[in-house]
Structure 1
């Protein structure tokens, strides 16, 4: 746990780890996330069917600013700071508009924002291109599944704590203790009654009706998304040979992706090999955000079928004849050692 806390403290969050935020444009809901660096920015936009993305660095940011705002001059850091503050702010400080276009490279979503900078109108355009289809899984579906599982685990833990607290309160009452005010007294927690009440609640109906806007509405949900992505990044970090034994069962998903990328067979808890795992999802970025050499390598891995036995392991695996010879040699060595011990014992007895 200490190693994990230290790793997360030093970890540099990426665009993937940023939580999704809700964006409403002309009565249409979207999700978006951004990541601003010292000299660059990256943005993703999701319409619940496709993810669009863009990353702009260094002088390209300045050039776009001059083309859109000819009279505006400012350092790159201030420009990025202004964009970050207006986009990431909970308050509506900018006006959004979306327009889909098509050029020679494919579909482009032109996202335009209009804000005020030092009392002057400021315009910015994001030229977002369509990401790979699997990005919707890596950036949204898999993290949401992990969030559902974690929220269920936390709910069970909270129920257990409430029941323990009720037992403690009942013990106090049996000993004659009483609350100072009757308004502070509560009924004993009933998990089944609580579940039925929540299922029939009007708020539950509202959540189901507006699931697209409610998933990341609460700050707690956005924070949990960040923690899920950070946990996945930690589980999929580079693991040295000496540390591999320290990986627990909770890191199975990350371990599966690490083994598959290295070409090793993956065994599930039931002893079967998993041939359908898709690898890590937190650190998979749109192709335009990944170096060309890495994206080519990932394509090669995804199209190739995982072998039943890793070539490296197969070349090192001893044959049955070699195993038998090694066993005989070990047995002979053991018998020889025992014989020497018996001789030394006899010599000691003669001396006595």
Structure 2
């Protein structure tokens, strides 16, 4: 369980959003919020083991199995096994009562204090980053579709390529028409009219937000080039060269490609250098041909 889950508890009028994370199934962090206040609790392995003995003295099970049982119960949306109380100091206690494996009675209590985090930091900032990532993905996909249409158009106009199966042929992508059709669809209307709790607890949103958290904590190495119309830079023996994509002509002889590691003086020399060609005249070509013909006549 890594995303937000909806939790209804006896004793509370409002629905809580809860999130429980555990890296090694021994310690855990539990966060609860009503979209106004945020409560949290963090337990180490020793603290979790001590609490388990206090509430379940007859239970003998590995701590990892106990943490897994608690997380699966929270994830199952069982409303009849949770109860909650909130005191004047804004401390909330959420109690869990159900059966452990084998029918053994099980009891647990989350004792959450008011967190210094605000609901804006817990929900608004991640949602804002999610919107930006989806916008970048959307723009990249639109650009890719348009370039694919140009590629298909080139095949049809200059190579005479046709589709072997007629049902596979599609019209060229029109972004305005696509957006208009999407906004009129029932799926789009249902999505934009959902309440905030349903959106935050959606599996697809939770998966995307978990991926963003992973990208922030462990960022991937950035690419030097997006590979659209440029070659891929590769460092060979300490120098950066440009590999030509396929179907690209090589530069003329004598023309040097500017390297990323060139000094400013080298770049100035390359910019001011003049490439001189020594064209062969038509008369010299014809004279050489005549000499070859004369040699052949002498042989006969």
Q: Distance between the aligned counterparts of 1:82 and 1:19, measured in 2?
A: 15
Q: Which runs of 4+ in 1 moved over 6 A?
A: none
In the alignment, is the contact (CA less than 8 A) between 1:95 and 1:115 conserved in 2?
no
Cα deviation, residue 152, structure 1: 0.8
The corresponding residue for 2:202 is 217
Residue 51 of structure 2 is aligned to residue 68 of structure 1: no
The corresponding residue for 1:186 is 170
The corresponding residue for 2:149 is 166
TM normalised by structure 2 equals 0.61
Equivalent runs, 1:26-41 vs 2, <5 Å: 29-38=15-24, 39-41=26-28
Q: Which has the higher contact order (CA 8 A, sep 6+)?
A: 1
Cα deviation, residue 29, structure 1: 4.5
- Structure 1 116/171 Cα, relative in aligned 2: closer, same or farther at 3 Å? farther
The corresponding residue for 2:37 is 50
- Structure 1 188/116 Cα, relative in aligned 2: closer, same or farther at 3 Å? farther
Cα deviation, residue 119, structure 1: 2.4
Cα deviation, 1:244-274, whole Å, max 9, x if unaligned, reads xx9xxxxxxxxxxxxxxxxxxxxxxxxxxxx
Q: Distance between the aligned counterparts of 1:96 and 1:180, measured in 2?
A: 60
The corresponding residue for 2:273 is none
Cα deviation, residue 96, structure 1: 4.7
Residue of structure 2 aligned with 1:145, choices 104, 128, 145: 128
Q: Distance between the aligned counterparts of 1:204 and 1:28, measured in 2?
A: 28
Q: Distance between the aligned counterparts of 1:179 and 1:172, measured in 2?
A: 11
Q: Distance between the aligned counterparts of 1:185 and 1:92, measured in 2?
A: 46
Q: Residue 58 of structure 2 aligns to a residue in which SS?
A: coil
Q: Distance between the aligned counterparts of 1:178 and 1:45, measured in 2?
A: 59
Equivalent runs, 1:229-248 vs 2, <5 Å: 229-233=213-217
What count of residue pairs does the alignment treat as equivalent? Answer: 214
Unaligned runs of 5+ in 1: 1-17, 236-245, 247-352
Cα deviation, 1:71-123, whole Å, max 9, x if unaligned, reads 212232332233234435xx5578553423216xx122222334432221323
Q: Distance between the aligned counterparts of 1:143 and 1:211, measured in 2?
A: 17
In the alignment, is the contact (CA less than 8 A) between 1:110 and 1:126 conserved in 2?
yes
Residue 111 of structure 2 is aligned to residue 124 of structure 1: no
Q: Distance between the aligned counterparts of 1:222 and 1:87, measured in 2?
A: 15
- Structure with the bigger percentage of helix: 1
- Structure 1 75/162 Cα, relative in aligned 2: closer, same or farther at 3 Å? same
TM normalised by structure 1 equals 0.53
Residue of structure 2 aligned with 1:110, choices 93, 107, 131: 93
When the two chains are superposed, the root-mean-square deviation of aligned CA atoms in Å is 2.9
Q: Distance between the aligned counterparts of 2:156 and 2:20, measured in 1?
A: 54
